[in-house]
Structure 1
Amino acid sequence: MADIHVEEFYKDVAIALVQLYGAFPRRVNLFVEDIAGPDEPDEFGLHSKRHMACFGALLWLEEEGLLRYVDTIRQEALDQAVLTRNAFVRLSAPAPSALTREFGQAHQRVDEGLPPSVQEDLSTYIHLVRTALKDGHSSRISRIIQATFFADQSH
C-alpha cells in the first residue's frame, strides 16, 4: 500500500488532467479547492498541508511538461492552464488492450454492442482515468495514472 500522500497525489493529478482535457484547447483557471476540497487558511493565512500538496502536484505537472499556465493565483489556482501537446496526445491515445480489460471489466458487457468508433473512445487513457475516478478506488487511480504517464511510452 502506498503512502496516503502519494495516493492523494495521483488523485489530484487525475482530477486536474480530466478537468484540463474536458476544456482543451481552452485555457482555464485550475483551482486547488476544486481538486482537493475546501480549505480554510489558519490564523496566519497558511493553507493546510493537504491544500499545499495539491498545489504542489499542479506545479509538478507543469515542471514535468504535462501542462502550461500563465501565472499562479496566490497558492489557490493556476491561471490560464492548458494541457501540453504531449499530455493531450497521451490521454487521447488508446491504452493497451490488457490495461483496457483490467480497468474496463465492470463496463465490458455494455461496451460489446457499441460501434467500433465508440469502443475506440472507451479504450483511451482519458476514459480509463475518468472511470477510475468514478469508481473512487485510490489504488486503481494510482495504477492508471502510473500506466498513462510513467510506463513505457513506446505503445
Structure 2
Amino acid sequence: MADIHVEEFYKDVAVALVQLYGVFPRRVNLFVEDIAGPDEPDEFGLHSKRHMACFGALLWLEEEGLLRYVDTIRQEALDQAVLTRDAFIRLSAPAPQALADAAGVQVAETDNLPRSVQRDLSTHIHLIRQALKSGNSARISQVVQATFFADSSYH
C-alpha cells in the first residue's frame, strides 16, 4: 500500500489535468478546493496539510512543465492556468492497450464504434477519467504514473 499522501497527490494531479484538458486551450483559475475539497483555515489563517499538499501538487505540475499559470491567488488557486503543449499531446496520445487492461478500463464493443471514437477511448486522458470515476486509488496512481512516463518522443 502506498503512502496516503502519494495517493492523494496522484488523485489531485488527475483531477487538475482533467479539469484543464476539459477547457483547453482556454485559461482558467484552478482552485484547490475544487480539487481537494473544502478547507477551513485555522485561527491563524493557515490552511490544512491536505490543502497545502494539493496546492503543492499544482505547483509541481508547473515546475515539471505540464501546466502554466499567470500567478497564484494566495494559496487557494492558480490564476489563468492552462496545459502546456507537452501535457496536451501526452494526454491526447493513445495509451498502451496493456495499461487499459491493467487499469481495468473496458471499452465494450470498440470494433463497432467509429475509428475516431475508438481513438478517443484509447487516450491517456480517457484512462485518467475512467480511473477517477472508479474511485480506486491504486488505479488512479497507476494511470497517472503511466501518463507521466509515457513516451513523448513522438513530438
Give the TM-score, by structure 1 length: 0.94
Which structure 1 residue ranges, 5 or more long, are not aligned? none
* 1:78-133 deviations in Å (ceiling 9; x for gaps): 0000000000000000011211233354x332534212211111000000000000
CA deviations over 1:29-82 (Å, ceiling 9, x no partner): 000000000000000000000000000000000000000000000000000000
Partner SS state of residue 108, structure 1: coil
Amino acid at match of 1:111: T
- Aligned twin of 1:86: 86
- Cα contact 1:104–1:128 (8 A) shared by 2: no
What is the distance in 2 between the residues matched to 1:110 and 1:5? Answer: 37
In structure 2, stretches of 5+ residues that fail to align are none
Structure 1: which amino acid aligns with 2:72? T
Q: Give RMSD over aligned pairs.
A: 1.4
Q: Report what 1:125 is aligned to.
A: 124
Are the structure 2 counterparts of residues 41 and 110 from structure 1 closer, same or farther at C-alpha, using a change threshold of 3 Å? farther
1:15 equivalent to 2:41? Answer no
The alignment of Structure 1 onto Structure 2 pairs a total of residues equal to 154
Contact 2:107 2:121 in 1 (8 A): no
Q: Distance in 1 between matches of 2:93 and 2:55?
A: 27
Equivalent in the alignment of 1:137: 136
User: Is the Cα–Cα contact under 8 Å of residues 94 and 120 in structure 1 kept in the other structure?
Assistant: yes
Q: Using the alignment, how far apart are the partners of 1:40 and 1:11 within structure 2?
A: 21
- Higher mean C-alpha deviation, range 138-147 or range 109-118: 109-118
How far apart, in 2, do the equivalents of 1:69 and 1:143 lie?
A: 27
Question: Is 1:149 the equivalent of 2:132?
Answer: no
Question: Structure 1 residue runs of 4+, over 3 Å off?
Answer: 151-155
Range 96-105 or range 37-46, more displaced: 96-105
Counterparts of 1:15 and 1:8, CA distance in 2: 10
Q: Which amino acid aligns with 1:125?
A: H
Aligned residues: percent identity?
A: 81
Secondary structure of 1:131's counterpart equals helix
